[in-house]
Amino acid sequence: MNRIHQKLQADNKILSIYFTAGYPSLNDTVKIIQDLEKNGVDMIEIGLPFSDPLADGPTIQASSTQALKNGMTTSLLFQQLKDIRESVSIPLILMGYFNPVLQYGVEDFCRKCQEIGIDGLILPDLPLDVYQENYEAIFNKYGLVNVFLITPQTSDDRIDQIDAASDGFIYMVSSASVTGSQDGFGNNQETYFQRIADMKLKNPQVVGFGISNSETFQQATKQAKGAIIGSAFIKFLTQNGVDKIGDFVKGIRK
Amino acid sequence: MNYNVDEKGYYGEFGGAFIPEMLYPNVENLRQQYLIIMAEPSFKKEFDQLLKDYVGRPSPLYFAKRLSEKYNTKVYLKREDLNHTGAHKVNNTIGQILMAKRLGKTRIIAETGAGQHGVATATVCALMGMECIVYMGEIDIARQAPNVARMKMLGAEVRPALSGSRTLKDATNEAIRDWINNPVDTHYIIGSAIGPHPYPDMVTRFQSIISEEIKWQLKEKEGKENPDFVVACIGGGSNAAGTFYHFLHEKEVGIIAVEAAGKGVDSGESAATSVLGKMGIIHGCKTLLMQTIDGQITEPYSISAGLDYPGVGPMHAHLFKTGRAEFIAVTDDEAMQAGMVLSKLEGIIPAIESSHAFAILETRKFKPEDVVVINLSGRGDKDLDTYIKYFKL
C-alpha cells in the first residue's frame, strides 16, 4: 500500500495542489513542495513541463513554457527531488505528457520514480488500452499508481473499465474543458458529481479542473474524496512568488 | 508488407490514438463510424457529386513537355492546383464535412498552416451553412494574408495561435483544446494525415482520389496504370498520402516523398523530419517527430508554411522506416528555383509546398523512359508575396 492509498483511506476533503516544476524559478521545486506540506496540503502533483500541453489552458501552458525556458528537464527534476523524502511525507505524483516519459524510457522513468519515492503518475495522453498492453506491468513493478481521467462525457461503461483498471484514485475532470477555463460550478457539474457518486466506484474520486477557491473546493468535495487545484495556484505563484504559499492554502481551507 | 493501417490503428509501429480522455468519446465514435459512413451509397454519391461539380474533378494529368525535355525524362503533373480553392485540401474537407453532418455535428474547427486547409474548410462550411473556426499560427497569419482574407469572406472566424512557434503545430494544439472545450457539437476537420487514429486513415482515404485518378488517366495516356515514380511534397503528408495510396502495394512504382530542408538539414532551421526526427508522440499519434533529447517538440522551419511541421503522418513514418519510400530533403533555395523553372517552362506558378516536389528533378536522376508523376498539390497565388520578396520581382 503506498502513500496515496493511505492518505485516501484516512482523510476526506483531500486538498491536492498541482504546480509546474521549474516555475516560477528553476530551483523552486523543493521549496514549493515543502511549503505546501507544511501548510496542510494533502497531496501534490508535480508537473513535468511539456512543449505542447494539449489539455492545458493558457495559465499552465505559460508556466510550462517558462519552466522549459528556465532550463527544466526530466533529469534535472529527478535530481532536484532526489532527497525529497527526507523532508516530505505526503503523496507525490508526477503529472505530465507521455512523450518526455517515452524519450526518457518508460522503465527507467518508473525506476527513478521509485528511487525518489514518487507514488503515482498522471499522463493524460497515455490511453487506457496502451497502458494496459504495454506499461501496466512496469508501473506495478515499481509500485506506481497510474491515475486515469474521466469527464462528464465519459460513458458509464468506460468509467467501469477505468475503475477496474485503476488502483489509487480516479481523476474526475469537472467539465468539458482544458485546465483553468471556468469559474464556479453549475447544475451540470452537480448532476455529474451525483451521477458518479451513485456509481459507487471502487476507487475514490478526486475532482480537478475549475477549482480555484474555497467555494469550488467545498462543492467539489461534497461527494468526491478530494480536489486538485492547478491553474489558480500557478496564478498565485505568478503574482506572489513562492514566499506566501501558506496564504493560498489558508484561502482554500477557510 | 502492409502499408495500410491495421485494425488497431497502427502502421507498423506508428500511429495509434494517444489522446487525453476528454477527446476519447469523439475520437472513438469517429473510429467506429467512419468506414461505415464512407461505405454508405448516399455518402458516396454526395461525395462523388461534389468532387465533380463543385471541386471540378477529375483534375487533369498533364504531360509537361518542356519540363520533360529539360530533365530528359517523362514528367506528368497531377493538377491538384486546379481544384476549387486551389489545392488538394478540398478533397478531404468535402469528405469530412459530409462525415460531420452524418455524425450530427453543427460546429466545425480546423487548424491551418499555409491557409489552404483553412480556406478549404471555410469553403465547405459556407457550402453547408455550418459555423467554422480556423486556428492559425500568428506568424502564418502574417505570411499568408490573402488566405486569411479568403477565410473571412467565406464566413469563418480565424483565431490566432499565440503559443510556441506560432505556426502549424501550435494552431493544431489550439484546435485540439477547442475540441476538448466543445465535445458535443463540434467536429474537428484535421487537414493532414496526422492526429489520432482514425484521422490519418480517413484523411488518406479522402485524398486517395488523387492516385485513383492518376491510374486511369495514365492508362489513357501511357497505356499503363503504374508510373515508374510518384512524387509529392510532405509536411504532415496529406497530398503525399493521397498521391501514394493506390501505389503503395504496386512494387514497380517508386515512391518519393520530398521534405522541406529549410535553410539546410544541418542548419538548425529545417523541417526535414525523416532526417531530424525520432519516434515520439505528437498531436495524438506515435510517429517520427523533431524533438529534443528530453522529448520536447522542437520548432521547425521552412519557407513554406504548409511544410512547417515537426512531424510526419504515421503512414509516412512507416514508409520511411520500411524503405518503401525514398525521402529527399529540399532547401528553401532549391524549392524557390524550382518554382521559377515550372513557371517559366510550363506557365504554372506552383505553391511553394509543391515547388519542393519539383526541386528533386535537379538532383534525382531519372531515365529518359521513366514516367514520373509529380503531384502539383497547390497553386502559387497565396505565395506571391514570398516569391516577390525572394526574387525581388
How far apart are the C-alpha atoms of B315 and B5, rounded to whole Å?
A: 8
How far apart are the C-alpha atoms of B62 and B69, rounded to whole Å?
A: 14
Contact A252, A40 (CB under 8 A): no
Please check the confidence at residue A1 and state whether its pLDDT lies above 70.
Answer: no
B70: exposed, middle or buried (C-beta count within 10 Å: 0-12, 13-18, 19+)?
middle
Tell me the pLDDT tens digit for each residue of B160-177: 999 877 888 899 999 999
Which pLDDT does position A99 carry in this prediction? 98
Which pLDDT does position B181 carry in this prediction? 93
Please check the confidence at residue A253 and state whether its pLDDT lies above 80.
Answer: yes
Which pLDDT does position A184 carry in this prediction? 77
- Averaged pLDDT of chain B: 96
Which residue type sits at A119? D
Q: Which of A54, A129, A148 to mutate to test the interface with B (most CBs of B within 10 A)?
A: A54
Query: B22 to chain A: which residues are within 8 Å by CB?
Result: 55, 149, 151, 153, 173, 176
Nearest to A127 among B19, B170, B183 (CB): B19
Q: Is A132 in the B-facing interface, judged by CB distances under 8 Å?
A: no
Local confidence band at B145 (pLDDT 50, 70, 90 cut-offs): confident
E strand or H helix that includes residue B199: helix B199-207
How far apart are the C-alpha atoms of B133 and B348, rounded to whole Å?
A: 32
Which pLDDT does position A179 carry in this prediction? 80
Tell me the pLDDT tens digit for each residue of B283-322: 999 999 999 999 999 989 999 988 989 999 999 999 999 9
B304: exposed, middle or buried (C-beta count within 10 Å: 0-12, 13-18, 19+)?
buried
Question: Residue A51 to residues A96, A209, A231, B176: CA-CA distances in angstroms?
Answer: 11, 20, 17, 15
Query: A102 to chain B: which residues are within 8 Å by CB?
Result: 280-281, 295
More confidently predicted of B93 and B166: B93
Which pLDDT does position A175 carry in this prediction? 87
- Nearest-Å Rg of the Cα atoms of chain A is 17
**Rounded to a whole number, what is the distance in Å from the CA of A4 to chain B's nearest CA?**
22
- Catalytic positions of A, written as ranges: 45, 56
E strand or H helix that includes residue B232: strand B229-233
Please check the confidence at residue A237 and state whether its pLDDT lies above 70.
Answer: yes
Which residue type sits at B334? E
Please check the confidence at residue A22 and state whether its pLDDT lies above 90.
Answer: yes
| pTM score, whole prediction | 0.96
Which pLDDT does position B132 carry in this prediction? 98
Question: Residue B286 to residues A11, B13, B38, B118, B244: CA-CA distances in angstroms?
Answer: 40, 8, 25, 25, 21
More confidently predicted of B180 and A184: B180
Which pLDDT does position A177 carry in this prediction? 80
Which pLDDT does position A242 carry in this prediction? 97
Contact B198, B23 (CB under 8 A): no
Chain A (150-189) residues lying within 8 Å, Cβ to Cβ, of chain B: 150-151, 153-155, 158, 162, 173, 176-178, 181
Nearest to B297 among A52, A98, A155 (CB): A52
Bond before A24 cis per omega within 30 degrees: yes
- Beta-carbon neighbour count of residue A111 at 10 Å? 15
- Averaged pLDDT of chain A: 95
Instruction: Specify the pairing of strand B74-79 against strand B61-63.
Output: antiparallel
Bond before B198 cis per omega within 30 degrees: yes
Tell me which residue of A12, A153, A104, A205 sits closest to B26, measured CA to CA.
Answer: A153
Please check the confidence at residue B90 and state whether its pLDDT lies above 70.
Answer: yes
Instruction: Determine whether the interchain pair B18/A125 forms a contact, defined as Cβ–Cβ distance below 8 Å.
Output: yes
In sequence order, which residues have a C-beta less than 8 Å from that of residue B340 and are 6 or more positions away? Answer: B391
Instruction: Determine whether the interchain pair A130/B280 forms a contact, defined as Cβ–Cβ distance below 8 Å.
Output: no
Please check the confidence at residue B352 and state whether its pLDDT lies above 80.
Answer: yes
What is the share, in percent, of chain B residues with pLDDT greater than 70? 100
**Rounded to a whole number, what is the distance in Å from the CA of B198 to chain A's nearest CA?**
15
Contact B231, B300 (CB under 8 A): no
Q: HSE on the CB side for B108, CA within 13 Å?
A: 34
Contact A152, B24 (CB under 8 A): no
Local confidence band at B279 (pLDDT 50, 70, 90 cut-offs): very high
Angle at CA of residue B350, ends B276 and B251, nearest 5°: 60
Local confidence band at A186 (pLDDT 50, 70, 90 cut-offs): confident
Which chain B residue shows the shortest CA-CA distance from A181?
B181
How far apart are the C-alpha atoms of A230 and A209, rounded to whole Å?
A: 8
Tell me which residue of A56, A28, A85, A75 sits closest to A241, measured CA to CA.
Answer: A28
